[in-house]
Amino acid sequence: MIEVIGLSKEFKSTKIKGAKTIRALDNISFKVQKGEIVGLLGENGAGKTTTLRMIATMLKPTGGTAVVNGYDIVKDQKKVRGEIGILFGGEVGLYDRLTARENIKYFSELNGMSYKETIDSIDYLVDMLDMKDYIDRRVGKFSRGMKQKVAIARSIVHNPSVMLFDEPTAGLDVTAARIVQDFIRKCKEDNKAIVFSSHSMSEVERICDRVIIIHKGRIIEEGTIEELKTKYNNENVEEIFMQLVGDNYGK
Amino acid sequence: MGSRVSWIVFKKELMDLFRDRKTLISSILVPIIIFPLLFFVMGNSMESMSKKVEENLKIAIKDNSQGSQLVNYIKEQKNINIVDSTNLDEDLKSGKILVAIEIPENFDEDIKNEKTVNLKMTYDNSSQSSQMAVDNLNLLLESYSKVIVEQRLIARNISGEFLNPIKVEMITTENEEEGYGKLMLSLMLPLLLIIYSIVGPMGAAVDLGAGEKERGTLEPLLTTQAGRLSLLWGKFFAITVMGLLSTLSSLTGLYLSTKQDNGLFHGGTGSLSVKTIVLIGVITLLLTMLFGALELAISIFARSFKEAQTYISPLMIIAFVPTYATYMMDAKNIESFYFHIPLANVSCIIKELISGIYNYAHLGITFGWIIVYILGSILFARYMFSREEVIFRT
């Protein structure tokens, strides 16, 4: 499980004159239980990616902390990374000159898995994601959907208990997006704690158990979809989102 | 765990690089063939030019003494082609003739009367062929004067020995061909080794730093349990190996070019002792590490391949300054302060080693400095790898 406690992040400002720092994330706290999918919803620049990067220990928080399965993200970085799998949207980020198997193997080895564990894990994933036909071919010429499967396998090869998804369906066609969504549901079945960031309310509505809406680095709303619908007396979740964050739209 | 991770990264990066045809061609194949090709073409074209001039000396003679014996002597030479010319300057410039000789009036008579006669030779000093022709013609005139001198001596009953009171026999410290080879090596090797220490690791450094960013593989990599420093070491050693391979290829190319029959070196190779080769090898290794680390640091800072290449290429120009400044320096008289100037010290120490000088103070100073540079550049790369602004600078 994940427990985020008063997490804050300030970046040094290079572009805005006068301001010395930019507060990207301001004292946010939330929890994600095992087998739960929590949607992190917000506009571009709201702080979603920063939150996920800090949980994954790629960025150091300037305030607060988070605990992943009992490991602190500031003190036990390596252990935290061992518990976490992360899948990014946009560019899949594979090594084109390596085969699918070599790509996955590289990440499993870097996660400290033994030779046998690696072999077994890859065999399982090849089966699960139906990659038999191309597992030993170089990924350079793969279709987007095939690459997406390799990226998924890579993110989960070390069997993490926590999965982070950073706008994983951004820029994907319907088929590739479907592969990702199915995978997220599979993770839930496997009882993993899941954080899923998106700027699309409808996608979040379809997949997530609970939603956290971030705006300008702060949590402005939190709850299940049903709770939000009742609270704002509106069946259209997209409109609720606009109402909450879009106060300046068109003005 | 750390060294295991570095080893995994090292293996993967080398495999990745070796599968890249572009990298293989630019860092291994091209360095091997470039020198043999270059020297072959240069050597051949020089030789064919001098042959052309020697076989066909196109000259114009302006004979003011009407039918002097010198003209006959010149005409007797097989390789001389006498061309009629009305406008000497123009014909010289256009290359129609290579040299023009003007023979003064009463040439034969003055010679007979044992006067000194002035010949005028006009040539194009901006043309290599013309200068070669002058050299050839001078030799011819010299042998003609010798004949005249001999005749004069015989007329006075004096032996030819009279003119050569001292005979000098030249003995060189090095076998003559070897000396030439060593000179060439001491000029070229420092320059080449420094250039290749910069160029060799460049492709790999760009690929392993900025390339990871551009492909989007860096972020997933940082989410693994591997520590950043271990990643850095693995990449650093892979880059060093690629750099060394590139330098070795270029040296192989250089060696091959010295074996060419028609090449520039004409077989003039200096044989170096094992000690020298080992020391130069170690220096090259360290230099490659230095530039590899520096380039990796710059590369990880850059947002893309293109940006990395733009930032790294000035390194070459900066390195050229101290290297060229010492290019013509004679190995036997290098002052100590040169060994404190970055890269100039490397260039100087390689020159010394090639000439067989093992100055331990100079060696110590140079190696000391190189170690300092390497530590500095590794710390710089490490600093870059640890900075969030650098890693996520997109």
Put simply, the chain B residues between 227 and 286 with a CB less than 8 A from any chain A CB are 227
> Residue B391's closest chain A neighbor by CA?
A58
Residues B301 and B341 in one domain: yes
Residue that is last in its domain, among B140, B163, B186: B163
* Claim to verify: residue B82 and residue B129 sit in the same structural domain: yes
Give the pLDDT confidence of B365-376 residue by residue, as tens digits: 999 999 999 999
CATH number at residue B67: 3.40.1710.10
Given a cut of 60, whether residue A151 has pLDDT beyond it is yes
Question: Is residue B169 in some structural domain?
Answer: no
Residue B108 has pLDDT above 70, yes or no: yes
Q: Do A110 and B220 touch (CB under 8 A)?
A: no
List the A71-72 sheet strands across, edge first. Answer: A21-32, A2-12, A63-68, A71-72
Whether residue B292 is contained in a domain is answered as yes
Give one word for A70, left, alpha or beta, with left for phi > 0 and alpha for psi -120 to 50. Answer: left
Residue B267 pLDDT > 70, yes or no? no
Contact B62, B88 (CB under 8 A): yes
Tally DSSP H helices, then E strands, for chain B: 17, 4
Determine the distance from the C-alpha atom of residue A6 to the mean position of all C-alpha atoms in its chain, rounded to a whole number.
19
Q: Which of B128, B163, B198 is at the close of a domain? A: B163
Task: Check residues A75 and A244 and name the one with the higher pLDDT.
Answer: A75
Same domain, B184 and B276: yes
The per-residue pLDDT for range B301-338, each reduced to its tens digit, is 999 999 999 999 998 888 889 888 888 888 888 888 88
**In sequence order, what DSSP letters do the residues of B15-51 get, joined into one string?**
HHHHT-HHHHIIIIIHHHHHHHHHHHHHHHHHHHHHH
What domain count does chain A have? 1
The reported pLDDT for the residue numbered A84 is: 95
3-state DSSP assignment of residue A217: coil
| CATH code where residue A74 lies | 3.40.50.300
B15 min Cα distance to partner chain A (Å): 8
pLDDT of residue A14: 67
Q: Tell me whether residue A251 is in a domain.
A: no
Q: Quick one: how far is CA A127 from the chain centroid? A: 24
Give B278's pLDDT tier (boundaries 50, 70, 90). confident
B225 — contact with chain A (CB < 8 Å)?
yes
**How far apart, in whole angstroms, are the C-alpha atoms of residue B310 and residue B156?**
78
Question: pLDDT per residue over A12-61, tens digit each?
Answer: 876 666 667 888 899 999 999 999 999 999 888 889 999 999 999 999 99
Q: Which residues pair with B33 in a beta bridge?
A: none
Token pair of A167, please?
């706008």
Tell whether B171 is covered by a domain.
Answer: no
| Domain identity same for B218 and B245 | yes
Above 70 in pLDDT, residue B122? yes
The pLDDT of residue A107 is 96
Contact A240, A228 (CB under 8 A): yes
In a domain, B47, yes or no: no
How many Cβ atoms sit within 10 Å of the Cβ of residue B71?
Answer: 18
Taking the CA of residue B19 and the nearest CA in chain A, the distance in Å comes to 6
**Mean pLDDT (chain A, rounded):** 90
- The residue of chain A with its CA nearest to that of B11 is A106
3-state secondary structure of B299: helix
The answer to whether A28 and A191 have CB atoms below 8 angstroms apart is: no
CA distance B31 to B196: 9
Q: Which domain holds residue A51?
A: 2-245
Assess if residue A250 is contained within a domain.
no
CA angle at B236 for the pair B234 and B238, rounded to the nearest 5°:
70
Chain B CB within 8 Å of residue A128 CB = no
Does A18 map to a domain? yes
Q: Residue A241's pLDDT is what?
A: 86
Please tell me whether residues B18 and B108 are part of one structural domain.
no
Q: Does residue B26 sit in the same domain as residue B93?
A: no
Helix%, strand%, coil% for chain A, nearest 5: 40, 25, 35
% residues pLDDT > 90 (chain B): 30
Exposure of B232 by Cβ count < 10 A (0-12 exposed, 13-18 middle, 19+ buried)? buried
Domain assignment of residue A59, yes or no: yes
> What value does the mean pLDDT of chain B take?
86
Mean pLDDT is lowest, of A83-87, B43-47, B231-235, B367-371, for B43-47
A250: confidence class by pLDDT, cuts 50, 70, 90: very low
* Residue A124, CA distances (Å) to A120, A130, A151, B220 in order: 6, 10, 15, 21
Domain range for B100: 52-163
The whole-number average pLDDT for the span A206-216 is 91
- How many helices and strands (H and E) does chain A possess? 9, 10
Residues B93, B224: one domain? no
Verify that B277 and B147 share a domain, yes or no: no
Q: End-to-end alpha-carbon separation of chain A, Å?
A: 41
Output the pLDDT for position B264: 54
Please list the alpha-helical segments (H only) found in chain A: 48-55, 77-83, 100-110, 115-129, 144-156, 174-189, 201-207, 225-232, 237-245
Give the closest residue to B191 by CA, choosing from B340, B333, B350. B350
Query: Is the distance from CB of A166 to CB of A48 less than 8 angstroms?
Result: yes
For residues B279 and B44, the model is more confident at B279
Per mean pLDDT, which range of A159-168, A179-188, B265-274 is the poorest? B265-274
Instruction: Look at B314 and B251; give whichever has higher pLDDT.
Output: B314
- Residue A191 CB neighbour total at 10 angstroms: 11
Q: What confidence category does residue A103 fall into, taking pLDDT thresholds of 50, 70 and 90?
A: very high
Contacts (Cβ under 8 Å, ≥6 apart) of A182: none
User: What was the ipTM of the complex prediction?
Assistant: 0.90
- Answer whether residue A123 is part of any domain: yes
Q: Residue B176 — pLDDT band, cuts 50, 70, 90?
A: low
Residue B242 banded pLDDT, cuts 50, 70, 90: very high
Q: What pLDDT is attached to residue A179?
A: 87
**Beta carbons within 8 Å of B204's beta carbon, 6+ residues apart:** B13, B17, B23, B27, B238, B239, B242, B243, B292
Q: Is the pLDDT of residue A152 over 90?
A: yes
In this structure, are B121 and B237 located in the same domain? Answer: no
B220 and B104 housed in the same domain: no
Please check the confidence at residue B1 and state whether its pLDDT lies above 80: no
Let me know whether B130 and B216 are in one domain: no
- Model confidence at A176, pLDDT cuts 50, 70, 90, reads confident
Q: Which of B221, B225, B303 to mutate to test the interface with A (most CBs of A within 10 A)?
A: B225
At B237, is the pLDDT very low, low, confident or very high (cuts 50, 70, 90)? Answer: very high
Tokens of B253: 């190319």
Which of B1, B15, B216 is opposite residue A91, by nearest beta carbon? B216
**Number of domains present in the structure of chain B:** 2
Of A53, A96, A109, the CB nearest to B8: A109
- CA–CA separation, B125 vs B127, rounded Å? 5
Q: Which residues pair with A194 in a beta bridge?
A: A37, A163
Give the pLDDT confidence of B185-218 residue by residue, as tens digits.
788 888 888 988 998 999 999 999 999 999 989 9
Angle, helix B176-199 to helix B305-325, in steps of 10 degrees: 150
Question: Residue B328 falls within a domain, yes or no?
Answer: yes
Determine contact, residues A201/A30, Cβ cutoff 8 Å: no
Residue A180, token pair as written in the block: 């990702």
At A21, list the tokens. Answer: 């720092």
Does B104 share its domain with B201? no
Distance from CA of B383 to the nearest CA of A (A): 15
Whether B216 has its CB under 8 Å from any CB of chain A: the answer is yes
- Specify the pTM: 0.83
Q: Dig out the tokens for A213 from the structure.
A: 């809406």
Q: Is the pLDDT of residue A251 over 60?
A: no
pLDDT the model gives residue B380: 94
